[in-house]
């Protein structure tokens, strides 16, 4: 899309040009897919080599399976856990806690963060509070949160939301504050009152950083939920890990850890899809549409 | 061309100890196109800010009949300021939406305007998919959608290549002339100023003073900017202004 289009004015691209562009796009997409496929194959190969080496070392007796587990034992634990349904229900519990916490934390964080754009005074008042909360390890809050919110699901959701909220807030605020001042001036000169500038410009300008916040906080939400389960719980992956750990059942700990990792990946994947949906215009630019 | 849309009387502006503009007086008649040329740092943009009501003078008076009459002012900057997440149609509609027109009505009006500014076929393109010239067309359409009585232009075409610039001057400024509005343009391009204006104000720098005022006949002929540049006397004006800025 360069000067030749500018000069030859009737801009509706002819069918030929469209076809060429589509072909080029498909070509690029094809290349991208191929490189992703290669990466996945390499990942799998490395994983298999690693697992084989581990199993081999355990079988040869040079590594203690009691201390370090083994792929075979972990696999058996997973099969047993899925068979009895225990691991699945633990995974669902933790996933729901983390998901609800993730949503609540991000909604509160993003709302307050973007809203702080409105008032410089409130922002400056809250600045030290936010810095303090941001510097506080959420794990240290867990005991009190259990006291306040009880030992049920709500305390894990609270933990999860608390781990998310400050990061979400800071990113949303940075996004809002990063709004182009000339664009604000332009809208003002067109007669837009502040709230309309907020709706038309500041809010959509912040969306990119809010999406970044979603990506950053997906893992944090899961960590928060699991720490909550560590402190006091009767279900969830954190609970299973804690119990197994206290029984020196290394394969069960590792098996549950793998499920935690998979959950985290699933959450990140969902966030990625959401981001592509919301920031469609951005990905259009990247694909050179 | 009877009453003055904008009148500055003996205006001086200081930023701390620095005098940006000193003893400047001029009038912009209603319906006229006035350009301000001069070296960088001569206070051109300061004058534009004064006219738009941003900041007041240290002494002297600024009268803006458009602002006083609560009529609309439109701005065009060197940067197009399009919103990345809005398509061309939506960006052009922004001016109306900013004024409170319901979204749907604003976008319908915007879609009607696009052909006038050479944007047909680009309705659903995002800014990142457009050339610099197309972006500036969209910015101009956005500005014009609010039907401003006074247009303030701050080097609107200086980021474009020469050919695109001539084309946009021809098309966009003609559209504006037909609307009968008043315009004040700041530029460092003497050619451009002589080609599109009724009056050219020449500034000298540090502190900014008016060095000369020229009434220029070429824009009123309605010739396209390329041909205007060939017209008799055009070169003479450009050389004269050039020398006034140099001295």
Residues of A in contact with B95 (CB under 8 A): 190
Q: Report pLDDT digits (tens) over A11-22.
A: 444 445 555 666
How far does A279 lie from chain B, in Å, by closest CA? 8
User: What CATH homologous superfamily does B4-71+149-246 map to?
Assistant: P-loop containing nucleotide triphosphate hydrolases (3.40.50.300)
Among A48-57, A88-97, A231-240, whose mean pLDDT is lowest?
A: A231-240
The domain limits of chain B are: 4-71+149-246, 84-147
**Partner residue facing B164 (CB), from A6, A207, A289:** A6
What value does the mean pLDDT take over residues B79-108? 91
Evaluate if residue B185 carries a pLDDT over 80: yes
The CATH number of A65-286 is 1.10.3720.10
Evaluate if residue A227 carries a pLDDT over 80: yes
Nearest residue on chain B to A285, alpha-carbon basis: B128
CA distances for B220 relative to A69, A144, B31, angstroms: 89, 78, 12
Query: Is A277 part of the contact surface with chain B (CB cutoff 8 Å)?
Result: no
Nearest residue on chain A to B52, alpha-carbon basis: A189
- For residue B124, the number of C-alpha atoms closer than 13 Å in the C-beta half-sphere is 4
Interatomic CA distance for residues B148 and B75, integer angstroms: 9
- The two three-digit tokens of residue B128, written as one number: 């990142």
Contact (Cβ atoms closer than 8 angstroms) between residue B144 and residue B176: yes
What pLDDT shows up at residue A156?
A: 93
Residue pairs spanning A and B at CB distance below 8 A: 80
Q: Report pLDDT digits (tens) over B119-161.
A: 888 988 998 888 888 998 999 899 988 888 888 888 888 878 8
Q: Which residues pair with B83 in a beta bridge?
A: none
The domain limits of chain A are: 13-59, 65-286
> Against a cut of 0.95, is the pTM above it?
no
What pLDDT shows up at residue A24?
A: 64
DSSP H helical segments within chain A, as ranges? 3-7, 15-59, 65-68, 71-84, 86-115, 120-135, 138-149, 153-177, 181-189, 194-197, 203-231, 237-246, 250-278, 280-286
Query: Which residues have C-beta within 8 Å of that of residue A183, sequence separation ≥ 6?
Result: A201, A205, B81, B83
Nearest residue on chain A to B70, alpha-carbon basis: A191
Evaluate if residue B237 carries a pLDDT over 50: yes
Interatomic CA distance for residues A20 and A14, integer angstroms: 10
Q: Compute, in degrees rounded to 10, the torsion defined by CA atoms B232, B233, B239, B245.
A: -140
- Cβ B120–A11 below 8 Å, yes or no? yes
What ipTM was assigned to the predicted interfaces of this complex? 0.82
**Partner residue facing A190 (CB), from B77, B99, B121:** B99
């Amino acid at each position: 899309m360069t000067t030749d289009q500018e000069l030859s004015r009737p801009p509706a691209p002819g069918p030929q040009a469209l076809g060429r562009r589509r072909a080029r796009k498909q070509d690029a997409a094809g290349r991208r897919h191929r490189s992703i496929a290669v990466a996945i194959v390499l990942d799998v190969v490395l994983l298999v080599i690693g697992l084989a080496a581990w199993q081999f070392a355990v079988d040869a007796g040079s590594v203690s399976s009691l201390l370090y587990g083994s792929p075979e034992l972990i696999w058996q634990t997973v099969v047993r856990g899925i068979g009895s349904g225990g691991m699945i229900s633990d995974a669902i519990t933790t996933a729901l806690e983390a998901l609800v916490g993730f949503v609540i934390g991000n909604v509160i964080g993003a709302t307050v963060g973007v809203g702080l754009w409105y008032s410089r005074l409130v922002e400056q008042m809250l600045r030290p509070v936010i810095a303090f909360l941001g510097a506080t390890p959420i794990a240290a809050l867990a005991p009190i949160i259990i006291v306040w919110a009880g030992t049920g699901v709500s305390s894990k959701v609270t933990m999860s939301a608390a781990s998310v909220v400050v990061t979400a807030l800071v990113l949303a605020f940075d996004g809002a504050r990063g709004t182009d001042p000339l664009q604000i001036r332009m809208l003002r000169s067109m007669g837009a009152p502040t709230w309309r500038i907020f709706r038309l410009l500041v809010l959509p300008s912040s969306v990119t950083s809010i999406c970044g916040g979603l990506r950053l906080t997906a893992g944090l939400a899961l960590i928060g939920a699991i720490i909550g389960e560590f402190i006091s719980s009767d279900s969830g992956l954190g609970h299973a890990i804690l119990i197994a750990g206290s029984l020196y059942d290394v394969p069960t700990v590792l098996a549950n850890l793998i499920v935690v990792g998979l959950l985290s990946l699933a959450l990140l994947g969902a966030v990625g899809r959401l981001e592509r949906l919301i920031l469609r215009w951005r990905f259009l630019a990247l694909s050179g549409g | 061309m009877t009453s003055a849309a904008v009148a500055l009387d003996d205006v001086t502006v200081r930023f701390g100890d620095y005098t940006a503009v000193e003893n400047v007086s001029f009038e912009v008649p209603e319906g006229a196109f006035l350009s301000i040329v001069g070296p960088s740092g001569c206070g051109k943009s300061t004058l534009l800010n004064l006219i738009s009501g941003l900041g007041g003078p240290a002494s002297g008076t600024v009268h803006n009949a458009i602002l006083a009459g609560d009529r609309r002012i439109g701005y065009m900057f060197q940067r197009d300021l399009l919103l990345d997440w809005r398509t061309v149609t939506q960006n052009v509609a922004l001016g109306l939406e900013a004024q409170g027109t319901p979204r749907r009505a604003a976008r319908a009006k915007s879609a009607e305007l696009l052909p006038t500014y050479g944007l047909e076929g680009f309705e659903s393109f995002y800014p990142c998919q457009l050339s610099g010239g197309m972006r500036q067309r969209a910015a101009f359409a956005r500005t014009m959608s609010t039907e401003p009585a006074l247009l303030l232009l701050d080097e609107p075409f200086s980021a474009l290549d020469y050919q695109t610039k001539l084309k946009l001057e021809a098309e966009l400024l003609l559209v504006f002339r037909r609307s009968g509005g008043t315009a004040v343009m700041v530029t460092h391009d003497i050619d451009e100023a002589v080609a599109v204006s009724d009056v050219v104000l020449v500034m000298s720098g540090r502190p900014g003073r008016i060095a000369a005022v020229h009434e220029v006949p070429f824009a009123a002929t309605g010739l396209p900017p390329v041909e205007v540049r060939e017209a008799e006397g055009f070169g003479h004006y450009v050389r004269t202004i050039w020398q006034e800025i140099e001295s």
